[in-house]
Structure formats: structure tokens, C-alpha cells
Amino acid sequence: MNFFEHQDEAKRNTRKLVLLFILAVIVIIIAIDGVLLILFGNLLSDPQTVTPNTLGGLLVANTTVLLFGTGGTGAAIGLASLYRSASLKDGGGSVARQMGGVPVDTDPKDPLRQRLRNVVEEIAIASGVPVPEIYIMEQEPGINAFAAGYSPSDAAVAVTRGTLESLNREELQGVIAHEFSHIFNGDMRLNIRLMGALFGILLLAIAGRRILSGSRYSSRSRNNGGNAIILFAVALTAIGYIGLFFARWIKAAVSRQREYLADASAVQFTRNPQGIAGALKKIAVHSNGALLEKDSEEIGHMLFGQGSSAAMLATHPPIVERIQRIEPDFREEALVEIAKRLSRRTRKEAEQDERESKKSSKRTPFDPRNIIEGIGQPDWERIVAAAALAATLPGGLLSAARSTEWAPELLLCVLLDDDEKIRDQQLFTIAKKLGAESEAQVRYLLTSTLQIRPEQRLPLLEIAFPALKRRPEAFIHRMLETVTDIIHQDGKIEVFEFLLAKVISLHLTDAMNPSQSRTSGNQTLVAQAQPVRDVIAILADHGHRDIEMVKRSYQMGLQSVGLELSPLQLPNDWPSALDNALANLDLLKITEKERLIGALVETILTDAHIDTQELELLRAIGSALHVPLPLLSNNA
């Protein structure tokens, strides 16, 4: 399956899980109502004294018990789930911090942490998504990792200390590629929503235990009310764990299949089965395996490996089965020999890995027609190209991009005009909007950095994103206003200016409101025919100088997407027209977005040539549609 099929399947799984969760809640409510009727309904009357005159009152009393049980249980589960979901509204970083994760420094001196950052940045750049926040669970000696968040804009990747110290570079790359698969395939969004939903069911078991704990004195009481409360607490605890049992079963059924898919994607990303397989083998023989010291009940379905020792309803397939899916000839007996020869890697070996990786990095061209297959599944050539591109970035620029204090100013510096008069106006706008200190930092970067090549601009943005979104929300809004003002300063908008403004605005908006972000809607291409025509026309116009070739590529795009051919009409204000069109097209079904991206690729390939402007505009359109386009090359 490709990116769009994975997204569509994740959406269907979400609907199934919502239905199953509702059914589980209904079963729990019925069970609690039954317990309440048995315990408290019987207290209201003696069957021998029931008469026609008292029957009505008895029915009213029992109905009251049912209404109390149904309303109370439903409200308790719903409110608890809403509370937990609200606590996760900040996205993946909040989950990582709750699990004891510590952010990786922007310029780590530890070679193991630097290697982790390099691997994460390489895969992010190759995939065309912002670099996620990076965390280490310092107190966890086992080998494990997870990705959390609602979208790539608020994603966080966390690994344990055991992962850093036990895995070599190719194994770490396999694990990180596995986690990126969860980011692309919609698993992250599903997983974090499950955390909130399951908390409501778990609350029943917790409430039952609390009632039992606080009602010990009732065991000495001879009145039926005290005994009934204790019996109800026992029943509530039992029902809570029954609900949790079914919730775990649903979670395990989905998680197991998604883990197999993520393992396969990791092999495709890295084109190196030994990486992910080697990590799994080390888990199998490691003294701590993948186990976490911290309670992993809530995030068990997110982890790379089984985080707890519970065998029943395990969220992950057996390790040996996962290895055999990658290496069909592998036999479990081989683990004994692996354990014997396995030795802990040293920091010196980690540094050697990094040097060898940089030496082997080289740019490799690819077929642009494979863009669809590469979305959410960057192949080895793109990862190597990303590593090579990252290696060309001067150390000063990298440090600025990773720094909370310098990342905004670096991105503003990239947008400055070559004309000195216009640049002075832009600097004045920066000082007015963000303050004199920001303007001074931009001037410093402008005079002290090396020339930034066009192909380095987007990777710098993707690397800078984690630092940028750590700034206060008020500052982020002012920065977005500043970006808009300075790109309009010269009276015209270049394609890259539009791209940068669009990508920054989209990702920061999603990051500030992660739980509200969405990747698709229910619209069709036919229903949004005019926005489709506008986007194809604008892309065709920016990709070709000859008007006849523009018309030809426009017709090619319409034909590819299945719309009726029509005369070319170019909008006077293309940025505004494109903004409006993309806002409508982001509501397309995910399968319709796949067709649209395919048509856009055909549009730019009409002349069998791709230039940087076309690539940047295509990346901007992809970002606006929540479709992360992989690292593209105009040398293809």
C-alpha cells in the first residue's frame, strides 16, 4: 500500500474503533445497571409486600436507579476520556514528557545523541516533513522507541537510553524508519486518540478500588446499605477490568498488524533488512528486552517493542515472528549464538559509524513518476541524498536552525530580497514587528553566513521547525505576520516566498492546535472542479515559459485528473487564487488527493524537465494538502 491507501485504512480503522468503543461502553453500562438493580433495587421493597398500589412506586424507583446508573456511568466514562484527551492536546511532545522523555540538545556533544539527531533529520528531510521533536527516556535500559502526535507538525520521536547504547547506526536507522512509518500512515493519530478513550474505561476499575479502600468500615456494619456499597465497588472493579480487557483486545488486534506494516516500511525506507532485523534480534537477547521501567499501559500500543511482560493480549507480535517476516530463513535457535557474540558498542564505534555514513553519502537521481510511491515511504536514494544535503549545510547554519533563539531569524534571513532598498524596508518591518534584537540577529546572519543554495532552503526550514514551535504562541503569530509583510514588500511574491509562508503557517497552525488538525475530508474532485483547474493552471504557468507549452501541460493535467478539457484561464493574483483553491482542496478525500497529486506530477513533466521553481511550488501544494512530498531532485 502507498501513503494514500494507508491513510484511508487508518481512517476506516478509526471509525471501527469508535464503534467498538461505543459498544463496549454500552455493555459496561448494561452490566452496571444490572448490578444496581440487583443491589439497590431489591433494597427498595420486599417482594412479599408488593401490591398493585405499590407496584407503580417500585417501577418508578427502579427506573430512577437505571437512569442514575446509565447517566452516571456514561458521564463518568465520557468526562474521563475528554479530560485525558484534553491533557494530550499539546501533541506528541506531551506524551514523551509524561513518559520521562528528555529533549535532545540542539547541539549535543554526546556522539550517541548526535547520531540520533542526524538519523532523524535525514529521514525527515528525505520525507519532506518537519523534523519531529526528539526525546530520550534516560531511565529506561531496555531497547524501545515510539512516535506520538496528531500530525507530522506536532510529532515527537522518543527512544530509550538502551536503544542508543545497544544499537549501531543501521539498526537505529531501522527503528527510526519504523517510527516514521507510524507518522505517515496515520497510526499516530489513532494511537493518541486511543489513549484518551481507554482512560475512561480504566477509570471504572480505579473508582472501584477507591470505593473499596474508603469503605472498609462498612464491613463491620450490619446494615444492608454498607454491604451493598462494598458489593457495588467489587462489581465496579470487575466490570472496569472486563472493559479494559476488551479495550486491550481491540488495541492489540489493530497494533499487531500495523507493527508488521511498519517493519516492512522500515525495510523499504532503508533498503537494509539487517537494520530493523538486527534491532529486533538485540531486543530478543537483551537482558531487559524492550521492557520499560515506567508503567506502559497507556502507550503500549505505540511502542516499537512490547513494553510490558504481559503475554495475554500483547500489543505486538512475537519478536521471532517479526524477524521471520523480514528474514524468512531465520530460526529461533540462532538467538543463542547471537547472544554469545553480542558485545556492547562503544562511543568510539558510534563516532566511526557517523564518519563512514558521511563518506558513503552521495546524491542519486530518481524517476519523478515514482513520487506517489515515495510519499510517506522515502527510499534509500532519498535518505542518502538527504544525508548528503545535510552534510553540505555549514555548521553555523545548522546551529542556528536548531536554536530556539536563532531559528526564526534564520528563516527571515532566507526571505530577504537581494535589492538593498527593499531589504532595508524588510529589516525595518522585522524590527517593528519582532523588536530590535531580532533585527540585529537577522543582520548578523546576513553578513556572517555563507551563501544559502536554493536546494538548502527547505531542509533548513524542516530542521528549524522544532525550535521554531517552542517559541511562545504570541511570538509565532507575530512572526507569521512578519513573514507575510516582508514577502509583499517588493510588490511581488516569488514561488519560494509563497512556499515558505505556506509551509510555516500550515505546520505552526497544526502544531499549536494538534488535536484539531485533519489530513482529509469528504469532498471529490468533481465537486471541487474549479479549484482543481486553478491549481493545475498556476503550476503549468510557473513551470513553462512558452505559452503553448503552458496550455499543453494544463490540458495534460486536466486529462490526467479526469476533468473535462477547457480553455486555459490564468488568475491575475495567483497567490490569492492558489490560497483559496488549496483551502478547498484540503477537504478532498484522501484517495482524491492521490489522483490530484498524480495529475500535478504529469503537469510538470509535460516537457520532460523539472526546475527548482516547479519543485518548490509542488512541495507547497503538497504541504497545504497535508501530503508530505519526499525530497525531490531537479536532476532527474
Catalytic residues: 179
3-state secondary structure of 134: strand
Kindly state the DSSP code that residue 10 receives in the 8-state scheme: H
Give the integer Cα–Cα distance in Å for 460 and 15: 37
Give the integer Cα–Cα distance in Å for 374 and 631: 9
3-state secondary structure of 303: strand
Give the integer Cα–Cα distance in Å for 393 and 402: 12
Strand order in the sheet with 133-137: 101-103, 133-137, 156-160, 145-148
Contact yes or no for 156/133 (Cβ under 8 A): yes
Reference 413, options 466, 341, 461; nearest CA is: 461
Q: How far is CA 135 from CA 179, 291, 462, in A?
A: 13, 18, 17
All three cell numbers of 259:
507493527
- Convert 34-59 to b/e letters by CB count within 10 Å (16 or more is b): ebbeebbbeeeeeeeeeeeeeeeeee
Helices 574-585 and 495-512, packing angle to 10 deg: 40
Contact yes or no for 601/629 (Cβ under 8 A): no
